[in-house]
Structure 1
Amino acid sequence: MTQNNIPKFQIQTIDVQEVTIKQPQQNLGKNPNLNFDIHLDHAVMQDNDIFIAGTTITTYAGSKEHELARFKANCVYKIDNMAQFQKPDKSGVSLPEELISAINSVSVSTTRGLMFGAFGGTYLQKVVLPIIDTQGFAPNS
């Protein structure tokens, strides 16, 4: 454990799962009103101390009816000694909220960078996901 009670973790690999860019239904103009949906999914491979954070970010022009892009990526992490977080009934693990928050933050930031690279050369090349506080994000179950 580190001094702030978050176990050591590191990214093992990053897998881009989907990049979809759709043509807008109308000209977006210079300063379009864009909205972002961010979804997180978590999976654990306890035997290998592996934690997978799946991030899906959907970009909309105005309302959710006008989807412009969807980007999905998995960040695969190695967490030191994950067995210490095993539930007493051995039905899974219960990781500290501080760890989940840190992983969510790194995963969304990593996906932001991947999106920026994927959007280069397209009409979305200047779209950057704003910096957001992921503390309190609950993963999809």
Structure 2
Amino acid sequence: MTKRSSPAKTGPQHLVLLAIDLLDSSLHYPGDHPPFESFHFDIHITSKAEDEKSQVLVTVKIGVHNENITRQLGSLTINCTFTMNNFADVVRLNADGQPDMPDDLIETLHSTALSTARGVMFATFRGTFLHHAILPLIAPGSVTEEKRL
């Protein structure tokens, strides 16, 4: 991977969602239990850039919990692949090889990936005991990215 210097000030041009991949999903049925009415979600987002392909990959991992059950009830991991015409001008790689992008682009990528995860989660859990575990709307910028070191 080629490393480049500091991020540019321009925004993305013709941002495209190229692919949505379901990487993992799981259900852990808790046995005889009344229907669940409330859920809690653990959300983790990471991004990486594939410089040679001019792509940013945003991975969203969601864990589904209920306050009355100690173990996780379900999980889902998706990957969204994005590209843009001016990738080389907008996405830079830092010394650790991680993407360094403008804040507004990060918010757009995270918001799109979270919305996509919400739909994939609904389709995956539909008809199960997690049918009503719908990821709530999340304000852009409120879920911060995990840094891989």
Could you say which TM-score interval applies, normalised by the shorter chain? 0.7 to 0.9
- For each residue in 1:80-111, what CA deviation from the matched residue of structure 2 results, as whole angstroms up to 9, or x when unmatched? 2221133698x665211000000000000000
Tell me, yes or no, if the aligned pair for 1:41 and 1:139 is still in contact at 8 Å: yes
Equivalent residue number for residue 95 of structure 1: 101
Aligned in 2, Cα 1:113/1:80: closer, same or farther, shift over 3 Å?
Answer: same
Aligned in 2, Cα 1:69/1:47: closer, same or farther, shift over 3 Å?
Answer: same
Question: Which of residues 84, 89, 101 in structure 2 aligns to 1:84?
Answer: 89
Tell me, yes or no, if the aligned pair for 1:6 and 1:96 is still in contact at 8 Å: no
Q: More displaced, 78-87 or 52-61?
A: 78-87
Please list every run of 5 or more consecutive structure 2 residues that lacks an aligned counterpart in the other structure. Answer: 1-9
Deviation at residue 43 of structure 1 after TM alignment = 0.8
Deviation at residue 135 of structure 1 after TM alignment = 1.1
Aligned in 2, Cα 1:7/1:96: closer, same or farther, shift over 3 Å?
Answer: farther
Deviation at residue 138 of structure 1 after TM alignment = 2.2
Aligned in 2, Cα 1:38/1:63: closer, same or farther, shift over 3 Å?
Answer: farther
Equivalent residue number for residue 7 of structure 2: none
Equivalent residue number for residue 43 of structure 1: 48
Matched letter for residue 68 of structure 1: L
Equivalent residue number for residue 67 of structure 2: 62
Aligned in 2, Cα 1:106/1:22: closer, same or farther, shift over 3 Å?
Answer: same
Equivalent residue number for residue 29 of structure 1: 35
Structure 2 CA distance for aligned equivalents of residues 64 and 82 of structure 1 = 44
Deviation at residue 71 of structure 1 after TM alignment = 0.2
Question: Which of residues 117, 131, 135 in structure 2 aligns to 1:125?
Answer: 131
Percent identity, aligned pairs only, is: 22
Tell me, yes or no, if the aligned pair for 1:19 and 1:71 is still in contact at 8 Å: yes
- For each residue in 1:18-73, what CA deviation from the matched residue of structure 2 results, as whole angstroms up to 9, or x when unmatched? 01000125514352x31001100111011221000000010001178321000000
Aligned in 2, Cα 1:5/1:74: closer, same or farther, shift over 3 Å?
Answer: same
Equivalent residue number for residue 6 of structure 2: none
Q: How many residues align?
A: 136
Q: Which has the higher contact order (CA 8 A, sep 6+)?
A: 2
